[in-house]
Amino acid sequence: MTLILIPLLPLLAALLSLLPAGKRFAPAVTLAAMLGGLALAGVAASRVLAAQQWVAITGWVELDGLSALVLLLVAFLNVTAALFSWGYMGAHVEPQRLRSYYAHFNLFAFSLLLVPVLAEPALVWIAIEFTAVFSVLLVAFDDTKAALEAAWKYIALMFMGAAIALLGFFILFWAQQKAGGGHYSWNGLSAISPGLPPTLVLSAFLLILVGFGVKVGFVPLHTWLPDAHSQAPAPVCALLSGVKTTNALYVILRLAELLPSDRAAGWMQAVGLTSAGVAAILLLQVRDYKRLFAYSTVEHMGIIFVAAGLGTGGLYGAMLQMLAHSLTKSFCFLAAGAALFVLGTRDIASVRGLLRQSPIAGSALLLAGLAIGGAPPFAVFLSEFSIFRAGLEQAHFLVTGLLVAFVVVAFSGILLHINRIVLGTPLPATTGPGRVHLPRACVLALMVAAVPVLVFGLYQPGPLQTLLRLAASTLTPVSPR
């Protein structure tokens, strides 16, 4: 079964990377597993494009449009993160800790791949729990006081959210039993969704919104996000921001589809707007460029959620935004990692002229800032534009207006800080003797990650568009909103 094999590859790699077989063995095994996963994910996605969905074990392991999209994203970002880790971590970590890093990294990748592949909600809960559990020690990897504090806050809030969401899943099961039973899977639930008792589904949705909202980073449950996403090593941050939050949002979106009333749309817009707004404002006063990108994650999660609440037109925009954000945010964090490698500090105020100090890191960071802010011709611009258009078409003027305002604020905030770092002449304090060269693997990873960021804003291949449309249609509720 190809589908089951996809998450198992990193699991195997995790075991193998514990073997003390030389400095290059663990990274190589990891990269090989990730590439294999990407290939298999591509095969799975093409199967889904051909047949609308792929059922491996009915009720347990299924893939449809939305999960295929998420699976592809996870697989691709795993590859870039693994490639970047090879250079970044290999440079200044001793071999034994390196092996532990790769073991955890592979376990983390395994859990991330598990989420879209499984179709039983309780198992999906377990998979999301795994993504939190296996990434805690990665967040704490730096072993500094700040990193440990971030890791502790992270795991405490993650588990709190998970416990709340667990009750929501139990109530969802209860609702399904009340409506007549059937497989407890995404397909089974959506098939029976008109018959689900509204009170039960609403309370389940609320519990899961609060519980998984912590994991996505909705305001006011986002307090762990800037800490965890800035203290972790750069490739881990890329995965955390790019994919892990998207996975949690994916689960919430699946559930939103089951709600029959259009009260859900109102809530989604309200929650999304609050997140986008507060994050955009908090963005302005950061002092650490990794925290900058973390707040930007919160903002984009809010934008995706608003888009999903804007009706059928907005759903396509939401899918496109999910794709664009994951790819771009991962590239952002890789660029930030490269910058950290060169500069040695995360503080914005003490850095100038990165472009002159290291052209690769500087230009990557500049591109990343422009891309995530939403400048044309990058992918995020296209997705945000289609969301605005959908909002105006549906006559949600207030929501669209607010969203535009928040995006503009975030754009100016991000570029304000990035310009300060990248342009100008380097400060004498930070220029050491000679240039710091980025490892080749890091440069290669940056280039590979930059390709979709640059390309998808201008041209999207046909199969990709079909996949996005398929994903959007999966989320369209059976009964009209």
Partner 1 sequence: MPSSDVVDWLQNLNALVGGLFLLVSFGLVAIRQVQGCVRLFVALSTLLGLSAFLLSAIDHNWHLAVIGIVDVTTKAVVIPLLIRRALRDEVYTRREITQVLNIPTALLIALLLAIAAFVLARPLLAFGEGPAIAVNLPIGLAGILIGGLTAAVRREAVPLFLGLLAMENSSFFAGIAVAPEMPLIAEVSIAFDVLILVFIVGVLTRTVQERIGTTDVGTLATLSETRPT
Binding site for partner 1 (CB under 8 A): 120, 122-123, 125-126, 129-130, 133-134, 136-137, 140, 143-146, 148-153, 155-156, 159-160, 162-164, 166-167, 170-171, 173-174, 177-178, 184, 197, 199-200, 203, 226-227, 230-231, 282, 285-288, 291, 346-347, 349-350
The CB-of-163 to partner 1 minimum distance in angstroms stands at: 4
Alpha-carbon distance of 344 to 59, in angstroms, equals 49
Nearer Cβ to partner 1 (28/172): 172
CB of 283: closest distance to partner 1 in angstroms? Answer: 10
In the complex, minimum distance from the CB of residue 175 to partner 1, in angstroms, rounded to a whole number: 8
Alpha carbon distances (Å) from 105 to 33, 71, 81, 96, 141: 12, 17, 10, 14, 11
53: enclosing H helix or E strand: strand 53-57
Minimal distance in Å, beta carbon 337 to partner 1?
A: 15
As measured in angstroms, the least distance from the Cβ of 119 to partner 1 is 12
**Residue closer to partner 1 (CB basis): 57 or 402:** 57
Q: Three-state SS for 55?
A: strand
Closer residue to partner 1, CB minimum distance, 325 or 352: 352
User: To the nearest 5 percent, what fractions of the chain are helix, strand and coil?
Assistant: 75, 0, 20
Name residue 121's amino acid. P
Q: Backbone phi, then psi, for 55, in 5-degree steps?
A: -105, 115
Nearer to partner 1, 187 or 312 (CB): 187
Nearer to partner 1, 57 or 191 (CB): 57
**Closest distance to partner 1 from the beta carbon of 332 (Å):** 18
Q: Tokens representing 208?
A: 């899961």
Q: Report the Cα 233 to chain-centroid distance in Å.
A: 16
CA distance 125 to 215: 12
CB of residue 413 to partner 1, shortest distance in Å:
13
Pair 294, 410: CB distance under 8 Å: no
* Cα 417 off chain centre by: 22
CA distance 222 to 211: 12
Nearer CB in complex with partner 1: 414/471: 414
CB-based burial, 89-103: b 16+ in 10 Å, e otherwise: bbeebeeeebbbbbb
Q: Give the residue with the Cβ less far from partner 1, 186 or 381.
A: 186
For CA atoms 455, 460, 463, 465, the dihedral sign is positive
- Nearer to partner 1 among residue 286 and residue 323 (C-beta): 286
For residue 287, the minimal CB distance to partner 1 (Å) is 5
What SS3 class is residue 63? strand
The residue count of the chain comes to: 481
Phi and psi of 435, rounded to 5°?
-85, 150
CB of 458 to partner 1, least distance (A): 36
Could you say which DSSP state residue 244 is in? Answer: I
At 267, list the tokens: 């809530």
Least separation in angstroms between residue 170's CB and partner 1 is 4
Compute and round to an integer the Cα radius of gyration of the chain. 21
Number of H helices, E strands in the chain: 20, 2
